[in-house]
A and B are shown apart, each in its own frame.
Chain A
């Protein structure tokens, strides 16, 4: 195996440079990024009149941790060769991903209002051919991790130290291809591959444990040879610690890592957190402003403490 490590000529674009020096500053930075993602998602949902707002709110802390703290990228050059790759296999989470891309400066914030409109670069389901910073076309679930395996193999073969992150939903654990990829990543010792699973316990037809039981997921991934962590996916401190652990053991040849994140659909907006859970959440026209106010009140209440 050719594993000559390419010298990293450009290290100034490390995302954490923005994130502050102390643990508290880091936490505040990522929490603020998560708040902005949620705010953007509500605005996009309102313009579109619908959308996967519940998922975006639930996954906002994961996306903020990755884009605000972990990922190496250049906002002005989405194809920068040394960038870490973030693969969204759950295409319908694009609303949250677009918000994260806007937060990262890759997509202009003002463009977010075109979400789901004709001729927009921001379609309802994420596609690489439409959006800067979107590495793959997700949507047909269970594809992302297989592509991630190939990317990690290809980057390693070419001597790159770039890491590959794959965002999955727990519904994707139903797909056999996810487990083909889980074996492949372990077999090829893809130590620079990190997967994260949004376990919101909800699928299109209902609660995950009534659709197809995937638990015990921690034991499953461990038995597949992955470095496995399970955290509260809405706890930024826990997410930072887990991603730090994964980063610390990342290597060209080593165990792939997975972070299983238990999240809450609609997180940060009590009105939606307490609504009957649905894959595709209906929000009335007059409720959007209430949602934003609740989000801001919650965020400010937390940061004031």
Chain B
């Protein structure tokens, strides 16, 4: 189940080998061909929330179009503040806006929010526990542009920040339902944004996003997947594929990484089933280690297998190539589970 929607095949000029895929535009879509999608769900959800909550304002650092903030800017020009390519100003100013009682949503790429403006988020927004909502585009491996744009360790960086709520949504449903809850929650939040044409996946399940809660999307007797972000989509696809191998897989979606719903997750892990975490993030400091620390703290003697990005700077290239190379593709997940089950 490889996704090739946004890539084009290179002409085969040198050898008879398999044609090489080309890196797509900055933000590659990870939607499968023919998959149901929703356009700019974050932008539309923010507009809707802002119609009801007059305190909501939007900011960006020269990435409005690339974080779907432009939808909000167009709907509420007087409530939108362009801060320029200045991320320290972006988040310092967001804190200042929150100090006056407003509820800012400030967008940039995850790499810049996490790596470049951490001090400002930490001291100006998180320490006074202000309602500053960070919206980070290109979380994990969602671009083929290489380490400058791949926020493979954003959750690892942000998990250490006291007061910060971290949300890793799966699809358009998650994003639409998360936005008003982020606005309503008191302290600072970080949303791992999926933008553009975002897959709609969770409408097929009895599911509603609830901040701070993990949800069991499907049951299964042999394997339990604990997943977040776009990897929940892959987990559901892999579960279907594994059914053909007579492997029965449960999927638990935990879109809130912090505070973590250890109770729900541990209840699912503490069984005889093979436990696998799946995340669009480095194996260091993300979902796997969140789960691992919950397991150890609870004294559960249970092996957990991570599906995650390796602890290294990743290659540039076409997203399907990279997802396959680093083990996030459905085929790779299926193979890993089958190998684990022996």
Q: Determine the chain A residues whose CB is within 8 A of the CB of B98 once the complex forms.
A: 150, 154
Closest to B129 in A: A129
B residues contacting the other copy or chain, number (CB 8 A): 28
Q: Which of A7-15, A133-141, A253-261, A262-270 contacts B (4 or more CB under 8 A)?
A: A133-141
Contact of A30 with B by CB under 8 A: no
Contact of B94 with A by CB under 8 A: yes
Interface of B is mostly: helix
Given A157-B78, A184-B84, are A146 and B102 neighbors across the interface (CB < 8 Å)?
Answer: no
Q: How far is the CB of B137 from chain A (nearest CB, A)?
A: 20
- Would you list which residues of chain B between 82 and 106 have a CB under 8 Å from chain A? 83-84, 86, 88-89, 91-102, 104
A residues contacting the other copy or chain, number (CB 8 A): 34
Q: Determine the chain B residues whose CB is within 8 A of the CB of A1 once the complex forms.
A: 78
Q: How far is the CB of A93 from chain B (nearest CB, A)?
A: 16
Are A148 and B84 interface neighbours, CB within 8 A?
no
Contact of A155 with B by CB under 8 A: yes
Q: Determine the chain A residues whose CB is within 8 A of the CB of B89 once the complex forms.
A: 146, 149, 177, 180-181, 183-184
Q: Determine the chain A residues whose CB is within 8 A of the CB of B86 once the complex forms.
A: 177, 180, 183-184
Interface of A is mostly: helix
Partner of B96, one of A149, A158, A183, A187: A149
Contact of B292 with A by CB under 8 A: no
Given A140-B119, A153-B97, A177-B88, are A146 and B78 neighbors across the interface (CB < 8 Å)?
Answer: no
Q: How far is the CB of A59 from chain B (nearest CB, A)?
A: 22
Q: Determine the chain A residues whose CB is within 8 A of the CB of B92 once the complex forms.
A: 143, 145-147, 149-150, 177, 181
> Complex formed: what's the CA distance from A242 to B144 in Å?
54
Q: How far is the CB of B79 from chain A (nearest CB, A)?
A: 7
Q: How far is the CB of B92 from chain A (nearest CB, A)?
A: 3
- Would you list which residues of chain A between 114 and 131 have a CB under 8 Å from chain B? 127-129
Q: Determine the chain A residues whose CB is within 8 A of the CB of B81 once the complex forms.
A: 153, 188
> Complex formed: what's the CA distance from A155 to B88 in Å?
20
Are B97 and A150 interface neighbours, CB within 8 A?
yes
Q: Which of B120-128, B282-290, B325-333 contacts A (4 or more CB under 8 A)?
A: B120-128
Are B123 and A135 interface neighbours, CB within 8 A?
no
Are A146 and B124 interface neighbours, CB within 8 A?
yes
Given A184-B86, A184-B89, are A155 and B100 neighbors across the interface (CB < 8 Å)?
Answer: yes
Given A137-B123, A153-B81, A154-B102, are A146 and B88 neighbors across the interface (CB < 8 Å)?
Answer: yes
Q: How far is the CB of A195 from chain B (nearest CB, A)?
A: 13
Contact of A151 with B by CB under 8 A: yes
Contact of B233 with A by CB under 8 A: no
Are B96 and A147 interface neighbours, CB within 8 A?
yes
Q: Determine the chain A residues whose CB is within 8 A of the CB of B83 once the complex forms.
A: 184
> Complex formed: what's the CA distance from A158 to B103 in Å?
12
> Complex formed: what's the CA distance from A157 to B58 in Å?
12
Partner of A176, one of B57, B84, B88: B88
Closest to B79 in A: A157
Are A137 and B97 interface neighbours, CB within 8 A?
no
What would 27 A/B residue contacts be, using CB atoms closer than 8 Å?
A139-B123, A145-B92, A146-B88, A146-B91, A146-B92, A146-B95, A146-B96, A146-B124, A147-B96, A149-B89, A149-B93, A149-B96, A150-B99, A151-B100, A153-B93, A153-B96, A154-B96, A157-B78, A157-B102, A177-B92, A181-B92, A183-B84, A184-B83, A184-B84, A184-B89, A184-B93, A188-B81
Chain A residues engaging chain B, CB cutoff 8 angstroms? 1-2, 127-129, 135-137, 139-140, 142-143, 145-155, 157-158, 160, 176-177, 180-181, 183-184, 187-188
What 8 new A-B contacts, CB under 8 Å, besides A149-B92, A176-B88, A187-B84? A2-B78, A136-B128, A146-B124, A147-B93, A150-B98, A154-B99, A157-B57, A183-B86
Chain B residues engaging chain A, CB cutoff 8 angstroms? 57, 78-79, 81, 83-84, 86, 88-89, 91-102, 104, 119-120, 123-124, 127-128
